[in-house]
Structure 1
Amino acid sequence: MAEGLRERKKQETRIALSWAAVRLTVERGLANVKIEDIAAEAGVSLRTFRNYFSSKAEAIAAREVDRSLWVAAELRARPSDEPLWTAIRASIESGFALGETGHGGEQPPDERWLAGIRLMVTEPSLQGEMARASAAAGAEFADAVAERTGTHGLYPRLVAEVVGSIRAATTAEWLRADPPRSMADLLSEALDLVSAGLPAPEKH
């Protein structure tokens, strides 16, 4: 019991640090944020930050890994008789916010927040960390699919790649949609389309 509480507290601290790093970077720009600022924003010591992350970029990219760990854990916990894509959808929808409130999750984002995110994702140091985070996230999700379906090899990897593509496509659309749309709505639409087999839209 105590071990479980400690692990949950550690995970909460990691999520808080990562989300603080994102918020401050969006507000100020990556070059204007120090790791001391991130620690203070999350209400922990600088030493605690260094126990979790080696850089600002790693802290920001950790949200991708942590979100996937959450979704994979949720997938493992879904009822075994639930259809795979029903379980995947429920798992994704339960974990996409990951401690975030506002800023385009359930409601469309404001333009200032979007502008900050657009600038943040162009940072070369962050792009490298995000690529590593994406690879780790995909591997974890593929493992969860393999366990749930009793398969190995191509199938779980293919499902993980599809889910990764859903998240990448919805994020890209979220950043450029005019008028802005919420991430929740975009995820729901993307999951609907994939679950239906990506039927060709009707021509108008």
Structure 2
Amino acid sequence: MDRPLGLRERKKAETRRAVHEAALRLTAELGLDAVTVEAIADAANISRRTFSNYFASKEDALLYGEEQRFRELVERVRAQPPDLPPWESLRAAVDEMGKVLGEPDRASVMRIRLAKRHPSVLARQLAMLSNLERELADAIADRPGRGAAARVQPRVMAAAFIAALRLAGQLWADQEERSLHQVMNDLLDQFALPFTG
């Protein structure tokens, strides 16, 4: 069980969220190219130096919420029952998050579209997904009851899972008929065949 955050940690978390929200708001209003780190810092009521203590770039600030969801996904995978097979553990973790977070807002669509149009956002997003892939592979391989499982299959499974999530987000952002949950489940069903068949 996580220990409660102390006052200092809570203040840091609040500052990160405030900077992230300022980055999202300004990007939605002005477009990414017109947004500077200084403008984000001003909107979050912090100094440029304080911004640098929390984020390396405006892209980092913009994608902070996504990075936090990735961390939560890894923790939820680790918390799945030990007898649940790896692919089902990944899907159960996503389903739990969907129930807690609900359907993403339109800011999520904005981030997906930004990644398509701006190489700097895409590069930062791909770096985060690469880290997530390693962490998910470790979470799968380290699950109780797997014994000395080879690391190759968990890494392949994690990569396929992330590819499915990323593609689901892109397909969902390009249409308005179905929920992200529906799109994601359809794709995860298709990607599951090599791992559950």
Long gaps (5+) in structure 2: none
CA contact (8 A) 1:166 1:191 kept: yes
Match of 2:157 in 1: 159
Q: Secondary structure at the match of 1:121?
A: helix
In structure 2, relative to structure 1, the CA distance for the partners of 1:39 and 1:102 (3 Å cut) is farther
In the alignment of these two chains, the number of paired residues is 189
Of 90, 110, 117, the residue aligned with 2:92 is 90
Deviation at 1:65, TM superposition (A): 3.4
Contact residue 61 and residue 130 of structure 1 kept, 8 A? yes
Partner of residue 65, structure 1:
67
How much does 1:166 deviate? 0.8
In the TM superposition, what whole-angstrom CA distance separates every residue of 1:8-50 from its partner, at most 9, and x where no partner exists? 7355654554354234323321122233444466x56335432
2:123 aligns with one of 98, 107, 128: 128
Identity of aligned residues (%): 31
User: Taking structure 1 as the reference length, what is the TM-score of the superposition?
Assistant: 0.72
Q: Distance in 1 between matches of 2:115 and 2:5?
A: 34
The structure showing larger relative contact order (alpha-carbon pairs under 8 Å, at least 6 residues apart) is 1
Q: How does 1:100-139 map to 2 (within 5 A)?
A: 102-104=104-106, 114=109, 117-119=112-114, 121-139=116-134
Q: In 2 relative to 1, CA 126–2 (structure 1 residues): closer, same or farther, beyond 3 Å?
A: closer
The Cα of 1:118 is off from its aligned counterpart by 2.2
Task: Report the secondary structure of 1:194's partner residue.
Answer: helix
CA RMSD of aligned residues (A): 3.6
Give the superposition deviation at 1:145.
Answer: 1.0
Question: Given the superposition, is the C-alpha separation of residues 133 and 189 from structure 1 closer, same or farther in structure 2, using an over 3 Å criterion?
Answer: same
**Any runs of at least 4 consecutive aligned residues in structure 1 with deviations exceeding 4 A, and if so which?**
1-4, 10-13, 96-102, 113-117
**Change in CA separation of 1:163 and 1:54 when aligned onto 2, cut-off 3 Å:** same
**8 Å contact kept, 1:25–1:120:** no
